[in-house]
């Protein structure tokens, strides 16, 4: 896998906006996370599209970091991604506690999808929606189009991350030539799917977006704003999707324990 690519932007002239700076990196339990704001992320995404080169973006949360402790392929994918977005308040707290590079704010994947729809509305970027249960990607993109009527939807397809379907799905997407590919297969499947297909597809921006289509389509409910502000989104998930207890266990107590242990054993 190639190392992170940032577009080489020509020297600034009065017509060109200044190139967005390369973000600093925090390392949390051996997993890289970029110190980004939402605005900086969007500026880099625009620069990636202008470059025409393929880039993989991961929306990292504490559960990813726990999973990456025993899934080396997944850890390598995140560490080689052009951008590893800090999607999860736990990462901001862990960065502070471990005294690594501070992470200025959360860049949640589901908010990013909405911001990209708005950007497409203004700039004409073409977005492909891959993943989720049949019909959900269509519903999510239709909702976004209601709000941003000039959104350019290159295509929608549920498909599956199974290897047998890989080639047919890649060909289907290639034919539509999107600027941005959103993949909603959940982690780590979505991130492995993108890593496997990045060179073949040559799409400038490929992002794993987890359950975002479900939230936007309304087939899953996000925690109310006040619970999000109290950093209790995990508690809402436990109440509404109790069968996910193991994942919540990994994201909250297990992650916290690993961070505390790392701080006091001073391992990198």
CA gap 234, 47 in Å, rounded: 34
213 is an interface residue for ligand UDP by CB under 6 A = yes
Nearest residue (CB) to ligand UDP, 54 versus 208: 208
169 is an interface residue for ligand UDP by CB under 6 A = no
Are the C-beta atoms of 142 and 114 separated by less than 8 Å?
A: no
Query: Which of the ranges 15-23, 33-41, 142-150, 179-187 carries the binding residues for ligand UDP, by CB under 6 A?
Result: 179-187
161 is an interface residue for ligand UDP by CB under 6 A = yes
Nearest residue (CB) to ligand UDP, 254 versus 262: 254
Q: In a 10 Å sphere around its CB, with 0-12 CB exposed, 13-18 middle and 19+ buried, how is residue 116 labelled?
A: buried
Min CB(211)–ligand UDP separation in Å:
3
Name residues whose C-beta falls within 8 Å of residue 94's C-beta, 6 or more positions apart in sequence: 28, 29, 62, 65, 255, 259
108 is an interface residue for ligand UDP by CB under 6 A = no
Min CB(161)–ligand UDP separation in Å:
5
| The token pair that represents 43 in the structure block | 């500026």
Nearest residue (CB) to ligand UDP, 131 versus 178: 131
Are the C-beta atoms of 245 and 237 separated by less than 8 Å?
A: no
214 is an interface residue for ligand UDP by CB under 6 A = yes
Among 6, 185, 234, 255, binds ligand UDP (CB under 6 A): 185
| The token pair that represents 54 in the structure block | 């393929």
CA gap 149, 157 in Å, rounded: 20
Among 58, 132, 201, 252, binds ligand UDP (CB under 6 A): 132
81 is an interface residue for ligand UDP by CB under 6 A = no
211 is an interface residue for ligand UDP by CB under 6 A = yes
Min CB(264)–ligand UDP separation in Å:
30
Alpha-carbon torsion (84, 85, 87, 93), positive or negative: positive
252 is an interface residue for ligand UDP by CB under 6 A = no
What stretches of the chain adopt beta strand conformation (E)? 25-28, 31-34, 56-60, 83-86, 126-131, 152-157, 180-184, 205-208
Nearest residue (CB) to ligand UDP, 132 versus 151: 132
Nearest residue (CB) to ligand UDP, 63 versus 179: 63
187 is an interface residue for ligand UDP by CB under 6 A = yes
């Amino acid at each position: 896998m190639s190392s992170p690519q940032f577009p080489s932007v020509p020297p600034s002239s009065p017509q060109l906006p200044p190139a967005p700076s390369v973000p600093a990196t925090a390392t949390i339990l051996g997993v890289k996370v970029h110190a980004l704001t939402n605005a900086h992320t969007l500026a880099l995404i625009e620069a990636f599209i202008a470059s025409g080169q393929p880039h993989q973006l991961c929306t990292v949360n504490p559960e990813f970091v726990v999973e990456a402790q025993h899934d080396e392929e997944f850890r390598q994918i995140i560490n080689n991604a052009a951008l590893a977005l800090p999607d999860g308040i736990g990462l901001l707290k862990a960065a502070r506690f471990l005294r690594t590079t501070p992470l200025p704010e959360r860049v949640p994947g589901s908010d990013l999808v909405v911001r990209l729809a708005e950007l497409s509305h203004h700039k004409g970027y073409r977005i492909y929606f891959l993943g989720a249960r049949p019909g959900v990607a269509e519903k999510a993109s239709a909702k976004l189009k209601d709000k941003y009527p000039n959104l350019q939807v290159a295509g929608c397809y549920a498909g599956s991350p199974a290897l047998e379907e890989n080639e047919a799905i890649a060909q289907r997407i290639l034919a539509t030539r999107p600027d941005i590919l959103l993949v909603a297969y959940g982690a780590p499947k979505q991130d492995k799917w993108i890593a496997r297909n990045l060179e073949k597809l040559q799409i400038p921006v490929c992002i794993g977006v987890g359950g975002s289509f479900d939230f936007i389509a309304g087939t899953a409910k996000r925690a109310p704003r006040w619970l999000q502000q109290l950093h209790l989104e995990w508690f809402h998930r436990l109440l509404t999707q109790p069968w996910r207890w193991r994942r919540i266990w990994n994201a909250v107590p297990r992650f916290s324990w690993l961070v505390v242990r790392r701080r006091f054993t001073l391992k990198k």
